[in-house]
Amino acid sequence: MVTVGKNIQLKTISKLLEVMEGMKEVLLQSNTLSLFNVVKPLHISHSQRHVRIHNGEKHCECNQCGKDFGTRSVLQRLKRTHTGEKPYECNHCGKAFAESSTLQIHKRKHTGDEPYECNHCVKAFAKMSELQIHKRIHTGEKPYECKQCGKAFTQSSHLGIHKRTHTGEKPYECKQCDKAFVRRGELQIHK
C-alpha cells in the first residue's frame, strides 16, 4: 500500500501512475513545470532509463537554458540552479542545499563521520573527492599542469591560483587600504 499525502491511499502501482499522470497535468497547467519540457512519457522502466546512459538519449530539455538531460531528476536539479531553490535543510545548523546528497555529506561535519579511509595511512575523509586528492600525496600524481611554465599541481584550484602569477591578477582586495592579494587567505592575514 502506498500513501500520498494524508488521506490518499493507493493499492496498486497502476493507480499510482494514474495519479502521477494527473499530477503532471495539474503542474503543467499551473505552469509549475514551465522551466522544463518533457519530450517523452514520464513513466519508463528502470532498464529503459538505464539504457539511456549508454546510448546518450536525452528526453528532457530545460526551457530556460536549452540543455538536454536523460532523466527528469537531473533536469530538476538543473532547474534549482536557475531558481536558487534549496529545499534540503540541515536540522543542526539551518544551512540549505539544492540536493539531498549534498546535505548528507554536509551532515558529516556535525557527526564527525569520515567513511573514506586512505589505505596508505591513517587519514579518513568525509568526502570521496577529498580522499582522491589526498591519495595524490602518496602517488605523486599531479594531473593539473600549467601550460605556460609546465609546473604541475594536485588540485585544479591550486593551478588556478598559480596562473595568477603569470597574469598578475589579485582578486582579493582590502576594503580599507585597497591592497590586493592573489589568495583569500593572504587577505584574511592582512586584516
Query: Rounded CA gap, 173 and 160, in Å?
Result: 18
Cell 600549467 appears where? Answer: 146
| pTM higher than the cut 0.75 | no
Half-sphere exposure of 67 (CA within 13 A, CB side): 13
Q: pLDDT tens digit string along 50-62?
A: 666 676 666 677 7
* Tens of each residue's pLDDT in the chain, 191 residues: 444 444 444 444 555 556 555 555 554 454 444 444 444 444 566 676 666 667 666 667 777 787 877 677 777 888 888 888 899 999 999 999 998 999 999 999 999 999 999 999 999 999 999 999 999 999 999 999 999 999 999 999 999 999 999 999 998 999 888 899 888 888 889 87
Amino acid at 87: P
H/E/C letters for each residue in the chain?
CEEECCCEEECCHHHHHHHHHHHHHHHHHCCCCCCEEECCCCCCCHHHHHHHHHHCCCCEEECCCCCEECCHHHHHHHHHHHHCCCCEECCCCCCEECCHHHHHHHHHHHHCCCCEECCCCCCEECCHHHHHHHHHHHHCCCCEECCCCCCEECCHHHHHHHHHHHHCCCCEECCCCCCEECCHHHHHHHC
pLDDT, position 16: 53
Query: Rounded CA gap, 73 and 48, in Å?
Result: 15
CATH fold label, 144-190: Double Stranded RNA Binding Domain (3.30.160)
Q: CA dihedral in degrees (160, 165, 137, 155; nearest 10)?
A: 0
Contact 121, 135 (CB under 8 A): no
Please give the grid coordinates belonging to residue 123: 587519514
Distance of CA 100 to the CA centre of its chain: 10
